[in-house]
Amino acid sequence: MESTSDKSTVHSGLVWILSGSALALYGLLGLMHVKVPGIEDAVAFFSSVSGVYLWLAACIAIFFEGLYFFGSFFPGTTLVVVIAILSQVGGLFVFLGTIVAIFVGWCLAGVVNIVAARVYHITVIQMSHDDSHKVHDRIWTTWFPIFRANYEVSQIAEGGKPYEVFLSSVRVKFLVSLMLLAYTLALPLFIDIHNVSNKEGFLSLAVIAGISFTVGIIKIKNARSSSHPF
């Protein structure tokens, strides 16, 4: 018989598999030359934005990229990296403001993920939070926006307390934002962002989708093994 805990783990696995399916679909459409936004389109658009409007663009971009499922339908090379690099043309103040805007927008996306997952957890899984469930930051495996969104939703699905998931998410996003600052300052020394193609971005989705599928399958397999030990 499947326990409530195992049921939550299965739903958590499905969260990752659904995200992986969306990523695979988006990448496949791009490689089949169906007209979907790619990294080239992002560079062209954000190159024409400057100042305060760039901050707004950064906040909105990371907000949507940080949403569960919907964030899968963005270019394979994250938009915020493109925006952060392009913002350096406006000087240090504009660049630092862009990093802050990215952090704020990402945290807002986390709130939406957690609230939506909480509603799903109560209405579909039909259980409250699990006091025994430990929320871990796992920064090295969930720093990418899509993985962080998946993890936020899966943690709630497994019974994590919403405020603990949110605080964990804020900690990770703050540290990642600091790393993004250093990364985007150094990246233009090695790569010309204007020369990155859509194909490279779409191919990178295969790796991300593969990881999402693997995590989801392992979670479901572990839950099934626990409920049927013999």
Give residue 202's pLDDT.
60
Global pTM value: 0.75
Burial class (CB in 10 A: 0-12, 13-18, 19+), 161: middle
Question: Is the separation of the CB atoms in 18 and 217 below 8 Å?
Answer: no
Distant-in-sequence, close-in-space partners of 65: CB < 8 Å, separation ≥ 6:
71, 74, 78, 79, 80, 109, 145, 146
Burial class (CB in 10 A: 0-12, 13-18, 19+), 139: middle
* Structure token digits, residue 40: 């080239």
Residue bearing tokens 């409920």:
227
In the chain, where the domains are located: 36-198
pLDDT tens for the chain, 230 residues: list them: 445 556 667 767 787 788 778 777 776 776 676 665 555 566 666 666 767 888 988 898 889 888 887 776 665 446 777 788 888 888 899 999 999 999 999 999 999 999 999 888 788 766 666 677 889 999 988 888 888 998 999 899 888 899 999 999 999 999 999 999 998 998 877 766 655 555 555 666 677 778 878 887 887 888 777 655 44
Closest CA to 117 of 65, 165, 175: 165
Closest CA to 73 of 18, 35, 109, 22: 22
Q: Which amino acid is at 91?
A: G
Tell me how many degrees the CA angle 206-207-210 measures, rounded to the nearest 5.
85
Question: Is the separation of the CB atoms in 199 and 71 below 8 Å?
Answer: no
Q: Between 145-157 and 162-186, two packed helices, what is the crossing angle to 10 degrees?
A: 170
DSSP string, 52-68: HHHHHHHHHHHHHHTST
